[in-house]
């Protein structure tokens, strides 16, 4: 293989993320790399994500290009991946994760606490919307679509008082100076997998999967995102459900452990279930499953059904 073809969405953020992967693979494997743009259903539609398929809407077309051999490797934002396994592809690597937290970009350098009641805050995420309501700050949460630059421009143009986006995306685009507050996970838990990338190859790729894994896979990032996605899967939730999760690898009484926090919030923020669990790093799926069972026992399913109705 003289040229490694990397499939990517055409957005600025997707290109920035795929370029990070391309540079690392060029250096590690000694190959030339070409980015191949692929338009997904999420890119073609301006409707809310919850109406056009939710989780996976940015993944399908990119994955199909991998399966049909148009590209050799694809790069996704891990939080966009469906939690159900696709046997046609292999998750070869989860590179070292970026900052998983959400960030506020607001007028006049304001923080969430500094914004006056009634301020218009834009987000396309039911998870962020519900947690913003739960803070009880009296903010007017406005649904928006568009790439990161489009959202930030709405603040600069005075159309919105602020937007909440993933901090890692702003950093990868070189726009971290626009952040007026990095939101503490105590206030707002991020989406499962936020800040992480997923590098997939075809299930029939053979040695390429091992090469990509050795070059890029980061053990702690794979472990933590695995626990978060196991929670999401066991809850039976997708991007239309207001679910937040964040796992960390930390020293426990018996060695390294996965500590996982999760939250499910009613759409209006009036009720929430927020719990945590921990377990061995060798069993992140088990930690996520156990936490999901505990959250369901506390009524999390009813809160997710409120969104569905």
Q: Which residues contact 236 (CB under 8 A, 6 or more apart)?
A: 301, 304
Select which of 80, 102, 161, 211 is catalytic: 80
Residue written as token pair 């003289």: 2
Write out the H or E segment, with its range, that includes residue 244. strand 243-252
Select which of 9, 63, 79, 261 is catalytic: 79
Q: How many C-beta neighbours within 10 Å does residue 70 have?
A: 14
Structure tokens at 300: 């999390």
Q: Which residues contact 206 (CB under 8 A, 6 or more apart)?
A: none
Is 128 noted as a catalytic residue in this protein?
Answer: yes
**Residue 181 has what DSSP assignment?**
E
Go through 236-262 and write b for each residue having 16 or more CB atoms within 10 A of its CB, e for each that does not: ebbbbbbbbbbbbbeeeeeeebbbbbb
Is 239 noted as a catalytic residue in this protein?
Answer: yes
Is 80 noted as a catalytic residue in this protein?
Answer: yes
Residues 273 and 259: their CA atoms lie apart, in Å, by 17
Q: Which residues contact 249 (CB under 8 A, 6 or more apart)?
A: 220, 223, 224, 256, 257, 258, 259, 281
Is 149 noted as a catalytic residue in this protein?
Answer: no
Burial of 142 (0-12, 13-18, 19+ CB in 10 A): middle
Is 151 noted as a catalytic residue in this protein?
Answer: yes
Is 161 noted as a catalytic residue in this protein?
Answer: no
Select which of 229, 239, 261, 290 is catalytic: 239
Residue 265 main-chain phi, psi, to 5 deg: -125, 140
Instruction: Tell me if residue 196 falls in helix, strand or coil.
Output: coil
Select which of 5, 120, 145, 153 is catalytic: 145
Select which of 63, 151, 222, 290 is catalytic: 151
Is 283 noted as a catalytic residue in this protein?
Answer: no
Write out the H or E segment, with its range, that includes residue 17. helix 12-29
Q: Is residue 187 within 8 Å of 131, Cβ to Cβ?
A: yes
Q: How many C-beta neighbours within 10 Å does residue 307 have?
A: 20
Select which of 9, 97, 101, 128 is catalytic: 128
Give me the DSSP letters along 105-144: EEGGG--TTTSPTT-EEEES-HHHHHHHHHTTS--EEEE-
Select which of 9, 63, 101, 127 is catalytic: 127
Mind telling me the catalytic residues? 79-80, 127-128, 145, 151, 239
């Amino acid at each position: 293989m003289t040229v490694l073809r990397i499939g990517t969405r055409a957005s600025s953020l997707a290109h920035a993320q795929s370029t990070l992967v391309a540079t690392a693979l060029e250096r590690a494997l000694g190959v030339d790399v070409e980015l191949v743009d692929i338009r997904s259903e999420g890119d073609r539609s301006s409707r809310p994500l919850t109406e056009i398929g939710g989780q996976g809407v940015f993944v399908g077309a990119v994955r199909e290009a991998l399966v049909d051999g148009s590209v050799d490797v694809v790069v996704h934002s891990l939080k966009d991946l469906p939690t159900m396994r696709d046997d046609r592809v292999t998750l070869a690597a989860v590179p070292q994760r970026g900052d998983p937290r959400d960030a506020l970009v607001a007028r006049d350098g304001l923080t969430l606490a500094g914004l006056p009641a009634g301020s218009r805050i834009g987000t396309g995420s039911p998870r962020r919307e519900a947690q913003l309501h739960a803070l009880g700050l009296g903010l007017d949460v406005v649904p928006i679509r568009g790439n990161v630059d489009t959202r930030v421009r709405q603040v600069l143009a005075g159309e919105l008082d602020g937007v909440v986006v993933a901090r890692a995306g702003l950093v990868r685009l070189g726009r971290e100076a626009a952040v007026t507050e990095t939101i503490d996970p105590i206030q707002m838990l991020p989406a499962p997998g936020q800040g992480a990338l997923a590098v997939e190859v075809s299930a029939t790729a053979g040695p390429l999967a091992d090469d990509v894994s050795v070059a890029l896979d980061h053990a702690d990032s794979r472990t933590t995102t695995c626990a978060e996605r196991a929670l999401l899967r066991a809850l039976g939730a997708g991007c239309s459900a207001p679910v937040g999760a964040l796992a960390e690898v930390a020293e426990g009484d018996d060695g390294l452990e996965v500590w996982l926090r999760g939250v499910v919030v009613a759409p209006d923020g009036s009720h929430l279930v927020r719990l945590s669990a921990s377990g061995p790093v060798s069993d992140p799926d088990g930690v996520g499953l156990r936490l999901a069972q505990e959250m369901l026992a506390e009524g999390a399913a009813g809160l997710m059904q409120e969104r569905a109705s």
